[in-house]
Every structure is written in structure tokens, then in C-alpha cells.
Structure 1
């Protein structure tokens, strides 16, 4: 995959040459480039923004700078042109999978008050937000998107199925993990994980993932693919929690 980033701050992307992103580039799986938007300016002040028509605070990124920059970066390809914007669709694992199917992505980092609307009309194909909060600019958000997408490319992760078992990959959070030592400060590793019974291990991990999602992110269960048996398990846990709350609201020792 080739990824082109249009930004006012190319130096912010140093982390994209570390860890898994560096490995992806070293293996020839990721061709990553940053482009300074100011390179398309023609005035001596390298102006990329201007005051908004109609008044108001802040500055707006100029269409006569961004549109040529995006067109030159995209070239003759049909690469998606993604604006990092609070107005975009909220980034999720499913969107990362969608973007991972492309061979080329062009990502544009917003700044100031945002984009001249003609940038959206002429060259943008998508807008993405990483959440309902405000960042100074789109560079950090762009790095989040690129990291989430690139790690899904075949060969990037050491374990080829690693991405498939991550939290959110199947709609659930991951369950607990353990490694050596087998005992630490009085806490041990569940026996099933040391049993060598792979079927039992898989079943335990699935149940633990279900329970952890139910406890920490129950909203994810609304769209997670779960079986009727698992729905019955969720109902039992909910009933047990309701019973415990009603019987022992103050920690009554008799409610055991």
C-alpha cells in the first residue's frame, strides 16, 4: 500500500517510522510519504489559509492551494482522498478493513477552522473523524488511521492471524492474557490455558471476551455477531448481577 499524507507539519510523522510501521516499510509492504502543503504555495509568505468570507474567527485552508496539492499527490489513480475532519464518519475497525482493501490512500490533515468547502466538492471522496473531541490539527488523527489500516495488511504483523484476534476485530474486546511466570504474587494462570486442549482454550477465550465486553463495553454487543447460546449466557450474567444488586446493596453477608 502507498499512503500519501498532505500536512502542514511533516515532522510530526516521525512515529510512523518506528515499531510496526517501520517493519511494514522495511518489508516493502508500505510506501509512506508526507508532503508539505506549503510546497504548492506561490507567494513569498507561503500562505495556505485566509480569513473566512462572511466574517468569524479563525482561518480557512485555501482551495487554490489544497486542490492542486491533492491532485498532484493523487495523480492518475483512483485513490480515496480522505479529509481528517470532525465532520467525518467516526473511525471504527470496519472502516480500517474497508480502507485496507485499497492500494493507495491520500490523507489530508486539517488545521485552523477547517477546509474551504470547494475542497470537499472538487477532490475529497471521504471524511473521517477519530472521535467526538477537538485536536489542534489532523496529524495525530491521520497517524491513528494509518496505523489501524496498515497493521491489517497481509504480512505486516508477525502472526498472520494476529489482527483477527485483536479487540474489535470480531466485534468483542479481547479477554485476559497470561504469560510466564505461572505464579506471581499469589495469582496464577487459569488451568485451562495450561491444559494443552486447544478446543477448551478457544472456548474459554471466547467466553472471557464476551464477558469482558459485557462488563466494559456493552454497547458493542448490539452489533457483535454472537450465538443464541452466548445470548443466553449474557442473560444469565445480567440476571445474576441484578440479583446481587437487589439482595445485597450494602454488602450483606447473607447474600452469598
Structure 2
């Protein structure tokens, strides 16, 4: 159709790129969503991410969704989450599944996902529920990583390979909802997950879904101190080399 930009499309859809927005010569736009392999699970969110780009950058000739922490991409993700789960449509459904004061479970999230949009990802639906929950909920993601000092050391010359430190299970994302922020229910980025936690067990024993109870004061810092004294219920889901988890205070906390 005389649009040569499509000849380079395969160069844009790299491993860390889920979609691209192309502006045609007549000014209209075409979004191409990569649904190959594991990327298919994010096709719902990727579509809204590309639409959100046009809401704030309508004059940009071409946009590419990459998995980065750039401020613009984080902003676009926030917009996509709100537009894709538009409040006047999503909230009434959410309220039929979650009563005031209830905890959120993965079964509830899955039921809402199937009823609202079956091809939306579990994670994006969980985010939408997380924002609307009246009770405290902390969403986290943990994976094997180095400490900050270890990363710094890896950038220096090393004489022997066996001098290389070992990665440990650490927090890579922590997002409290409003109610969680009010009671300081949070964890620090890159904090090491204690071996006593169900999160540690779920990762190292490769358990798909697991639930456990613990107190956050068992999560200690390398320089002393610990998280708040709070009995919590933790639900985990292991996806590849990542553990997603929700942390919620036990009833009566």
C-alpha cells in the first residue's frame, strides 16, 4: 500500500518490545501488537499502552512500547491501566465480587478477569483490583538479583570467576495501594526475601500458587532493623523466574 515503514517492522519487535504504533502518510495510525509466545498474555495491556501514547503524544511519528523504567513509559503504563479498566465499567463489576473490608484473593481476581475481559492478563487485572481495594494491599515482585554493592563490584575488573557473588531473591517492585500506604505497609526495593517467607519457598520450590501467614518483622535489613510488626497473609504466583505476591494484613490487624 505504499507504506515502506512496514518493511522495518521486524526490527522493532525485539524480545523486549511488545508493540509499536506506526503513523501512516495520511496521518492515521496502525498499532501492531506482538502476540508471539509469552507476549500473548500482555496483548490486552499492550493495546491500551499504544492507545495511551496517542493520548499524550499525538504528533509523534512512531512509538515503540519497550519494557523500561523510563519516566514516560511508566506514565503511559499508568494511563493504560486506567483507560483499559475504565472505572465506570470496571468498578461495578469489582464491587459485585469484593465487599467492603474483604481481602483480595487470586481466585477473585481470576473470576473478575474472566467476566470483564477474558484475554486481559491476570497481572493487569490484579493491578486494577489493587487500586480499588479499600483494605491495605501491597503488591510485590521478587526475582534473583545482586545487591547494589555487588552490582557495583561486578563493573570492576575481577581476577577469578569464583570471586563473583551469588544472586539472591530480592524485591524488584513494590506497589502499595492507598490503604497500605496509610499504615506504612511496604518493603524496600532490592530488599532480600527471608528464607522463612512463603515467597522464598514458592520461588525455590517452583510452586505455582501458594499462600502463607507470617509477620513482617522477620524481614530484616542488612544494616539492622526490620519491617513493621504486622501479621500478614501472603499469596504468591510463580511465573518463569519471577514471583508475584500480594501482602495483606490478617483480619483484626
**Structure whose residues are more often strand by fraction:** 2
Q: Give the TM-score taking structure 2 as reference length.
A: 0.24
Q: Which has the higher contact order (CA 8 A, sep 6+)?
A: 1
Q: Give the TM-score taking structure 1 as reference length.
A: 0.24
Which one has the largest radius of gyration? 1
